[in-house]
Amino acid sequence: MSCRRGALIVLEGVDRAGKTTQCQKLVHALQQSGRAAEMMRFPDRTTKIGQLISSYLEKKSNLEDHTVHLLFSANRWEMVPLMKQKLEQGINLVVDRYAFSGVAFTSAKPGFSLEWCMNPDIGLPKPDLVMFLQLNPNMAANRGEYGIERYETSAFQRTVHQRFEELMQDSSVNWKRYLQQQWRGQAHRCAFCRAGAGSGRSRLGTDRLHLG
Ligand code: 2DT
């Protein structure tokens, strides 16, 4: 029996933009509309590779910058068989960060080109939609717990935002940008419409996904 492939929807943005909350709301709305949907997040800190990354992010250990970049990528690759399986079963995957965060964060460090950073992720399942949640980094800094983990400084986040802007120039990726006002309050509903959920003309479940 054949079933329609699920859609791969990625949420990206600077830290504290509210990606996790919006991912949860999107999954909930998709399920409410009768579609199978699950959330994933990167880094996935539950695997062995993810634990190395988590310890690095929590500043409990240090890793050389190229090394940690490759670990973030390996952490995505180790989940690819599961992702493909779920997508082929018709499950829509809503993913909190993906390779775009990988490139934006590492290339915000001195001496890293976008091109070098992109290479290890070439061939990953291509998202059907990448939603970029835009938040002024100064506002992000006022949100709770900012500054605890590595990378959580306004200056670094501003550079990360610039790198995301460069990545959003790539028209081969289906980027949709959401300004903060668009997702506050009615936020997730707006996101659902743009993702096609509940519109009757949904893009979800089509075979647009290009697997690597
Ligand atoms: P969370 O706060 O969302 O757990 O992110 N990061 C993330 C990278 O540097 N490279 C990557 O490939 C990914 C997916 C962004 C933890 C931090 O990890 C950064 C913030």
* ipTM for this prediction: 0.99
Please write the tens of the pLDDT for every residue from 30-61: 999 999 999 999 999 999 999 999 999 999 99
Residue-by-residue DSSP string for 158-190:
HHHHHHHHHHTT-TTS-EEEEEHHHHSSSHHHH
Distance 3 CA to ligand 1 centre (A): 33
Ligand 1: residue whose CA is nearest its atom 2:
15
Lowest mean pLDDT among 55-59, 61-65, 140-144, 167-171: 140-144
Q: Is 132 in the pocket of ligand 1 (CB under 6 A)?
A: no
Q: What sign results for the dihedral spanned by CA atoms 59, 56, 13, 88?
A: negative
Average predicted confidence (pLDDT) for the chain: 86
Of the given ranges (75-89, 117-131, 161-175, 188-202), which has the lowest mean pLDDT? Answer: 188-202
Closest-lying ligand 1 atom to the alpha carbon of residue 19? 3
